[in-house]
Every structure is written in structure tokens, then in C-alpha cells.
Structure 1
Amino acid sequence: MRTPTVLTVVAGLVAGAAATGLMPRAPELGPRQTGDADLAATVRAAVDEPRGWRGLAVASIESGRVRVAGLGDRAPGGPAVEPGTPFEIGSVGKPLTGMLLAHRVAAGAVRPDDPLRSVLPEVTGPAGAATLAELASHRSGLPRLPTGPAALARNWWASVTAGNAYAGDDVDKVVADAAGTERDGERGTVSYSNLGPSLLGQGLAAQAGVGYPELVRRDVLGPLGMTATVVATDRAGLPAGRAEGATAGGRPVEEWLGAGYAPAGVGVWSTAGDLARLIAGMLAGTAPGVDAATPRFADEGGRRIGYGWFTSRYGDREIVWHNGGTGGFRAYVGYDRTADRGIVVLGNTARDVDALGLRLLGVRGDAASESRGLPRWIGAILALAFTFLGGLSLWSTARRGPDRLTVLSAAVWAVLYLALGHRLGDWSIVPGWLWPLGAALTGVAAALAVRRWRGLPAVAGAPPWRRWTGAALSAAFAALAVVVVVA
């Protein structure tokens, strides 16, 4: 074997070995557990694959008996999950807003068919014409979120940087956005929305003369004894001892905060024990606004919806439920009134817990099988593509690139692609050892580029100004990629 070839192979081996220490490692449900030992054992038996989960808090409610257990860790190298560990619950907050509507209707404060503008006069147009019942049941025709270019760009940026998707969305901004929002769906047809329930909650709060956090605490959380459930509108309001969220691939994420979207579940934190009080009150029929769970309107697939609560049939069983998801947390609450049985499952990664919740409720078959649909496979594709694309591109450029500028640009992007794959890939699906292989390929390609470097001109081909302009644009995109990696 010739010396240059040996050096190229050695460069690849060194790069792969060095990258092994940085190999992405997906969260995995650890062995630690707290609370009810029998429930913890039942949960572990129901977990089909521990990768992608770091910690779980689970509550079981059966014939009035409540059991709570914690499994795994709150954070990497952190303390164990305990029954009282707070988790971000996301859209599980929507049923609380639905219950608030049902409670206010029962008290005679509002009527289901009142238009939103009757409680929020500032909201005009289609949003103002939507009824309170339509907002609670996702039948207003309003979009999931405002759809202007700025909103779409911000949501995309929050997604790629694992940031707060609702930063700056205070009550005034949500009301202002709603006033200029058109319907993007058919009124009267269920189409899931975060904007609709948010406007509902803010309208009820305005009509009551208090803020939404105070109203839901006074009328729903307080009577249920849910003292550990908080609606945080800023970082100062986040609960102590909380779990830390992450993607299923292990990337840390920022908490979601945005006071305007609090009624949709943004900034709502709770514990398995507190949510068990909610489910126990729903099963007993004693929760404020319990009528919110009554299925009133048909949804797709035979599913029905009340005010925030969904009802789904599995064989001869009906499960009333809602789930929640934020950047780094997943939640599921559900109950079977006939069996007098309920479940709460909270996780501190973005891997879904719905199927686990259904299994713990005794539902079997496809319904209790975790979806491996497009969203998770997007993360897998990003992991594979970014890990190997840069090395392959650099290899090709190192062999045929016309000048040093082209080779240098390819080398910079090869490193950035590796970093993007590490950062954005879902390594709970893709084996982490593939990443060092990508690094080894990049190392081999870099060694080849070094061998050719001295024989290449600085700039060749197109007019220099055009080549340097292209290089500047490439550098700008590279800088953006760096921000994504380090954010």
C-alpha cells in the first residue's frame, strides 16, 4: 500500500476514533424508580423500547385507589423522577380550559353559543364570530396558529433550534393576531387549533375580570386540590425540581412560555399525582366542569369531542382522553368510566407516551402500538443524510474540485453537516455508532483534500467576483448553520 493511501486511511481511523467520544446517545429509561413499586414494574413491562425516554411519571386510578410511580431520571445525570416531579403537560391544559367553560356555563356566567366578541370585544372578524363552544371543540375554522410569514419563520426557527415556540406571545399579541386571522377550515368541522382554545380562555378570563392563570386556579385547579399544577407565564413562574425536557434523540430544549397561549397548555406544568386528582374527579363526576367531557360533536375516525376532551372507542370500550406535547415533553391522560379506571403518563422527552398510556389502560392491538410515522422518520433521515452527505461531498470535491476555494468550502460544510446531524437527528431510531463512521468518511476526504491542496489555484473557472460572491453566500449559510448547532 502506497504511503499517501496509508495516511488517508489513518486519517479516517483517527477521525472516527476521536468522534466516538462525541457519539450521539439517545436518552434511555434508566433503572431508578420511586413511588409504588408494583406500578413501576407494570410500567416497565409495558415499555416496548426504553430508548427515547429518559424519565416517566405515571399515575394509576382504579376504583378510587390512586397509585403513583416515577421511573428514570429528570435530567442527564440528574436526580430520579419522583411522583411529585413537575412536567410540562402541553395540550393537556386544553381540557382544563374546556372544563372552565362548562363550569362558567353552569354558573350562568356565559352561554355556549355566545360569540367570542361578547367577552373579547377587541377580536373582530371570523375569530370574533366564533362561539365559545366552537372554540372549545376546535370547530371554529381558525388555524392551528397564525399563518403570516413572520409567524411561520419564527416557528421554523424555534423548531430547528429547540427554542421557545411561543416567545413574546402575550395576551395582547394573541388578541391582535386573532383580529386579523381568517378561517382556514370549514366552520363546524373539527380541525385542531391552539389559537381557538387560547382565545376561549382569554375571553373567559376577561369576562371574569381576572387573568387566565388565576381563573383556572380558582375555578378548576383549587377545588380539585391540584396545588402542584402551575400556569407559568415567565421563567420566574417555573416550578422548582422540574424535569428537564429533551428531544427523543437527546437534544436539550427550552421550556415553552407564552402567556397568550396558556389556555392551550403553553407554560402549564403538573405532576402525575396532581393529574390523578383531575382524573379521579372526572371519574367520580365531582370535578368542576365535568360536563366538558360529554362528547358532543363528531370527529374523524369515529372519534368525538366535547369541550377539550376527546372520546375514542376501542372495541367495546370508550376512553376519554387528551394528550400533550411540547418541544421536550409528552403527556397523556385518559380514563374509562365504565371500568372506573384512569391513567396519567408524563415523559420528559419528545417521544410519545399515548400508546403506553393505552396499554396501561388495558387497550391492546394496533391502537396501543406506537406510531412510527413521518415525523420520527424525518429525524432519522436528517441523522443519516447530514452524517454522510458532507463527507461524500468533500470526497467528490477533493478529487475533482477546480480550486482551493471550492475545496475549502466543501471542507467547512462537511464539518457543519456532521454537527447538524448530531444536533438535529433522531438518534433514538438511528444507531449512534453511525455518526463516527460519518466522521471517519469526512476524515478520509479531508486527507485527500490536503494531498491535492498544493497543486490547486486559489480561484479558477468563473470570473473571480462571481466565485467570491458564491463563497460569501456559502459562508453566510454556514454561519446560520453554526447558530443552529450552538443554539
Structure 2
Amino acid sequence: MSASLPDQPAAAPPSRRTLLTATIPAAAALIGVGALSFPRPASLGEPTGDTDLAAAVAPHLKGHQRVAVMLRDPSGATRFAGFGSSESDEFEIGSVTKTFTGALLACAIEEGEVSAETTVEEILGERASGSEVADATLAELATHTSGLPRLASAMLWRATTAGFLRHDPYAGRDAQTVIDDALASSLSGRGTSSYSNLGVALEGQLLAAATGTDYASLLQERILEPAQLTGTYAPITPENLRETHRRGHGVNGLRQAAWTMEGQAPAGGICSTAADMMTYVTGMIDGSGPGAAAATEVLHEGEDKIVAMNWFHSVLDEEADTRLIWHNGQTGGYSSFAGFRSDTGQGVVVLTDSARPVDGLGAGLLTGEVAA
């Protein structure tokens, strides 16, 4: 049984495997309304870095502008190809942030602060009493099986209007508001995997509460500093954006506001670089990174989804149990993909400042369907 693989954008579909619909972050739906604005033509930046890698990926980057691609081969050697971008340029990574939240969960479990079966009520106490999500576990939040909706009902109108205005739809809702949103939500389909930005945001805020800090500080202390990811951070609010941040582009080419996401940051608010992301992915591959168990310790295996701690598993070869371990991301102006193969240790990071999915390119580089 296999989880959904990201769609491959090449003209000819793969002949060896069936590609199902990818688990796409909520941002993909949110930004669609912004496409009603007048389109702007996009021009792919000048290629830099490895010429062979650049030549291989360029045909898959129609409509993109600044792109950074890093590829890790089985020996651990890495190659970089940029288009108007360097290895140290900052990008919003969108829902790839969820894997960092998963790493924080793994770290908290290692420290004995929580277990995968710790419930919402065990962390929040009386505040959660009477809520439908009170007995949901951290494992359910990390695998999208809690039954929480994709977005809180209070977010729906904001999400629609933000798409038109090219604003961050999550702005103005802090950590406590996000927790209240989750506690007020009705559950549906609990036990089956149904993608929930709200669920992972709650997961991150619960971990912060359990450790007596805030999400950005916890991330910095337990993941970023130990792994020396100096180009990676969770700004939380626009005021905390670094001078290195640049506004991305919607599918229509128009500039978009930064998505810092405030209380929803654990679900999609991290900014990073290609170099940092490859260091991070390598730490997941070889187990040296903080919270590396998050990528490989499967917590849910259903008919259509295999999920570790916020990482998706897609089976490439069932007999050999070869898996593609991955996550994608999208904000109003950026898209991303990070993943690796369980058998060869090959890894890939694709970052773009356009809200055009790069899932197929990232997966294709790992499966060999994009020959580089």
C-alpha cells in the first residue's frame, strides 16, 4: 500500500508507477483566487552552479523566476543549480515547516517531556475540557488523523479575501487564538488521514506549551542551533523578517506579501535557504540531525497514506520496502519540496519564489524520471 506521490509535470506520465493526487498544503487553494488579477510574464533567472543539473531541471520550471535546487547523491556529495539564486538566498518553505514541527515532537519524546500518545487535554488541562479535540493525541496531530479541519471556520472568509488582496491569510491570529480555534472545532473523519494545517499548528503550539516556551524559541534551541542552520528561522510576524527576505510571486506573477503566519507558524511559517535545507535533509537521512526519528518513525499507515511525524512516505518498491520520504510546501508567493530515498540516501531540495508546485520535479529527481 502506498501513500500519494507528488505529480510529475513532465509531458509523458511515468510508465512504472501510478501517480495519485499529492497532499497539497491549503495555500494552493487559498492563492487560486489571486490568479484573477492580470497576469505578469515570468522570466527564469540566469543559471548558476552545476550546469548539468541546471540543464536537467530548467525544462520543468516554466513560469518560475528565482529557483534553487540541491541534489545529494548516494555518496553524500551535493550539487547545486540556481536560477537567479544562490545557495544562501532566503525562501519561504511553506508546509515543509511541518517536518520541523515533527522534529520538535521527536525531540520532546526523546527528552521524556511527552509521548506520541500525549493528549491535548494532558497538556492544556482544564482549558481543553469539553472540546472534541481534547483526547486527540500528538500522534494524531502529526499524521493528520485527528479529525480537525484543514482550516478553522474563523479562517475561511479571511483566507478568501487574503487571496484577492495578496496578503498573509493567517496574520493577526496568535498562538493562543490558534489553540482556541482548534478547541472550538468539530472533528470529522477521525482516524483517517485528512490534511490539516490547523492540526499541525496545534501540534507545534502544544509542544511549546509543554516545554514552557514559544514555538520560534523552541525551534531555535532544539533544531536550528544544534544543526547550525543559521539561514533558517520562524519570523512569526512581518516585523521579524530579515533583510534577506524578498517578496515572492503568485501564479499570475504578481508580488505577494510574506507569509509569517503568527500562531499558525508551526504549519508553514519557516524561511530557509537551499544550503540549510540540504543540511537538514542530510540530518534526516543519516540520523545525525536533531529529531531525525521524525522522518522514519511511522505513526500512521492507512489505505492511502503512510505518515511519520509530519513526513509522508510513498512506496517506490513494495517488495524491497523502498520509500520516498517527503513533504511539499506552498505560500502565497513560494513553493518548495524536500525529500529523500530510504534505500540510496539520495536527497533533494527545490525552492522557488513562485507559487507554482515543484513536487513533480523534486520527486522526479529522486526517482530518476528527471535525469540529472
TM-score bracket relative to the smaller structure: 0.7 to 0.9
Task: Name the SS of the counterpart of 2:124 in structure 1.
Answer: coil
Question: Residue 43 of structure 1: which of 42, 49, 57 is its match?
Answer: 57
Q: In 1, distance between residues paired with 2:87 and 2:48?
A: 7
Residue 127 of structure 1: SS of its match in structure 2?
A: coil
Secondary structure in structure 2 of the residue aligned to 1:231: coil
Query: 1:69 Cα shift?
Result: 2.7
Number of matched residues?
A: 326
Question: Looking at CA atoms only, which structure, 1 or 2, has the larger radius of gyration?
Answer: 1
SS at match of 1:67: strand
Q: Is the 8 A contact 2:326 2:337 kept in 1?
A: yes
What is the match of residue 40 of structure 2?
Answer: 25
Residue 157 of structure 1 deviates from its aligned partner by: 0.3
1:65 aligned partner: 77
Instruction: Quote the residue 1:298 is aligned against.
Output: 301
| Structure 2 counterpart of 1:40, one-letter code | A
Output one character per residue of 1:398-448: Cα deviation in whole Å (capped at 9) or x when no partner: xxxxxxxxxxxxxxxxxxxxxxxxxxxxxxxxxxxxxxxxxxxxxxxxxxx
What are the residue-to-residue correspondences of 1:19-418 with 2, within 5 Å? 24-30=39-45, 32-44=46-58, 47-48=59-60, 50-62=61-73, 63-71=75-83, 80-121=84-125, 122-124=127-129, 125-148=131-154, 151-183=155-187, 185-266=188-269, 268-293=270-295, 294-299=297-302, 301=304, 303-315=305-317, 317-364=322-369
Q: Give the equivalent residue in structure 2 for 1:19.
A: none
d(CA) in 2 for partners of 1:291, 1:199: 20
Looking at structure 1, the residues matched to 138 and 299 of structure 2 have their Cα atoms a distance apart, in angstroms, of: 14
TM-score normalised by L of structure 2 = 0.83
Displacement of 1:156 in angstroms is: 0.7
* Unaligned runs of at least 5 residues, structure 2: 1-37
Distance in 1, Cα, partners of 2:355 & 2:168: 14
8 Å Cα contact 1:170-1:260 kept in structure 2: yes
Unaligned runs of 5+ in 1: 1-22, 72-79, 369-487
Larger RCO (alpha carbons 8 Å, 6+ apart): 2
For residues 40 and 243 of structure 1, the distance between their equivalents in structure 2, rounded to whole angstroms, comes to 23
Deviation, structure 1 residue 257: 2.3
- Given that 2:146 and 2:191 are in contact with CA atoms closer than 8 Å, whether structure 1 keeps it comes out as yes
Q: Answer yes or no: is the 8 Å Cα contact 1:27–1:248 preserved in 2.
A: no
- How far, CA to CA, are the matches of 1:356 and 1:26 in structure 2? 21
Whichever residue aligns with residue 306 of structure 2, its letter is R
Work out whether residues 92 and 324 of structure 1, in 8 Å CA contact, stay in contact via their aligned partners in 2. Answer: yes
Q: 1:243 to 1:356 in 2, by over 3 A?
A: farther
Distance between the aligned counterparts of 1:111 and 1:295, measured in 2?
14
* Counterparts of 2:164 and 2:39, CA distance in 1: 17
TM-score (norm 1): 0.64
SS of equivalent to 2:139: helix
Q: Which of structure 1's runs of 4+ aligned residues deviate more than 4 A? A: none
Q: What is the aligned-residue RMSD (CA, Å)?
A: 1.8
Residue 244 of structure 1: CA displacement?
2.5
Per-residue CA distance 1:11-53 (angstroms, 9 max, x = gap) = xxxxxxxxxxxx84321313x1233444323322xx23x4311
Match for 1:341: what amino acid?
A: Q
CA contact (8 A) 2:312 2:326 kept: yes
1:181-219 deviations in Å (ceiling 9; x for gaps)? 111x22211111011111111111111111111111111
Shift of 1:290: 1.5
Which residue is equivalent to 1:4? none
Give the fraction of aligned pairs with identical amino acids, expressed as a percent: 38
8 Å CA contact retained: 1:230, 1:239: no
Assess, with a 3 A threshold, how the Cα gap between structure 1 residues 246 and 112 changes in structure 2: closer, same or farther.
same
Q: 1:100 to 1:246 in 2, by over 3 A?
A: same
CA distance in 1, matches of 2:98, 2:221: 16
Deviations 1:124-146 (A, max 9, x none): 41222211111111110001111
